[in-house]
Structure 1
Amino acid sequence: MKKTIILITLFLLIGLKINAQELTCSDFKIGTFYIPTSDEMKKYKITSNDSISEMTAERDLNVNRYVVIREKNSQTEWKNGIGNGNPTYEILEWIDDCTYRLTYDSSKGEMDEMTKWVNENNGIVVSKIKIEGKCLFYNATMTTNEGQKISQEGVICVE
């Protein structure tokens, strides 16, 4: 009887492991996600010619996380939850399952100087570093028209 219980438990554990879903890049293409804010997210690495420097941007302490609603080729970002303030509208151009170019959608609202500048410099390329649990860690890089590379690491998680 004891062996039967052990075997049943073993088969259940194996079955749970087999059915445990490992997330892939495809799981981050459509749906509702969140981007938690952290001190790491305000750090940018700037590569220009042969020099590398780091810049720290000021963080809006009123923002705890961003909520992202992503459809196939677009996403809408809300600060601190859906319906809070004005959303940001973005266009996603998928390069492969794990990489896309992000630009801001001028047809859905007025753009500020920063979003115009990003678009004028061909947007931001976002690529996967790794997936852990329900979160995808990424590197976002923009290459300016002057050849300067500005990059930032971040994380986006399944809601």
Structure 2
Amino acid sequence: MKKLIILCLLLNGLTSCAQDLKCADFKNGTFMTPGNSNFPYQGTIIRKNGKQIEWSTQSSDTTQINIKYLDDCNYVLTYDTELNELDELEKLINDSGGMRVKVLEIKGDTLFYNGLLQNDTLRFEQPGLMIKVN
């Protein structure tokens, strides 16, 4: 019985020392995005001061994105037209007011979100996740 109590106390101590990240912890830093069925390549994101730089393992091209925070857990992403030559999808996103992102949950170092692209004729939702690297 003593061993069980000691084990419970040890496990409780270890879990209580784990860092609880919040939405604000994902405003700056380096993140990894695993590939999925819509975009099969892993990506890297660096965020700092309302700017985001993205690149995938597929290419060395970078994409510059502006982040407008509505609050700590909701923001809008638009492509930086001064630093990027936009493709048709990126133009559509910007013309629609950007990709609206809502944080759904944070588990450990992973943020789960839902992105929404919506205009008068289109509604597209894209769930995803970002893993904080540092």
TM norm structure 1: 0.73
SS in 2 for 1:90: strand
Residue 112, structure 1, aligned to residue 110, structure 2? no
The reply to whether residue 80 of structure 1 matches residue 57 of structure 2 is yes
- Measure the CA separation in 1 of the matches of 2:67 and 2:94: 12
Relative contact order (C-alpha < 8 Å, sep 6+): which is higher? Answer: 1
User: Cα deviations across residues 64-109 of structure 1 (Å, max 9, x unaligned)?
Assistant: x01000112110001118xx42101100000011110000001112
| 1:8 Cα deviation after fit | 7.8
Q: Deviations over 1:9-51 (max 9, x none)?
A: 7765554333221111111110000110122xx2xxxxxxxxx
2:72: which partner in 1? 97
TM-score, length basis structure 2: 0.85
Q: Residue 79 of structure 1 aligns to which amino acid in structure 2?
A: S
Q: 1:36 is matched with which residue?
A: 34
Q: CA deviation at 1:116?
A: 1.2
Take 2:9 and 2:105, find their aligned partners in 1: how far apart are those partners? 30
Residue 16 of structure 2, aligned match among 15, 18, 39: 18
Shift of residue 129 of structure 1? 1.2
Q: Percent identity?
A: 35
Kindly state the Cα deviation for residue 154 of structure 1 after the two structures are TM-superposed.
Answer: 0.6
Equivalent residue of 2:82, what SS?
helix
Number of aligned positions between the proteins: 133
Q: Which of 69, 92, 96 is the aligned partner of 2:46?
A: 69
Note the residue ranges of structure 2 that are not aligned, 5 or more in a row: none
Report the structure number with the largest CA radius of gyration: 1
Let me know the Cα RMSD of the aligned residues: 2.3
Contact 2:116 2:124 in 1 (8 A): yes
CA distance, structure 1, for counterparts of residue 107 and residue 65 of structure 2: 25
Match of 1:155 in 2: 129
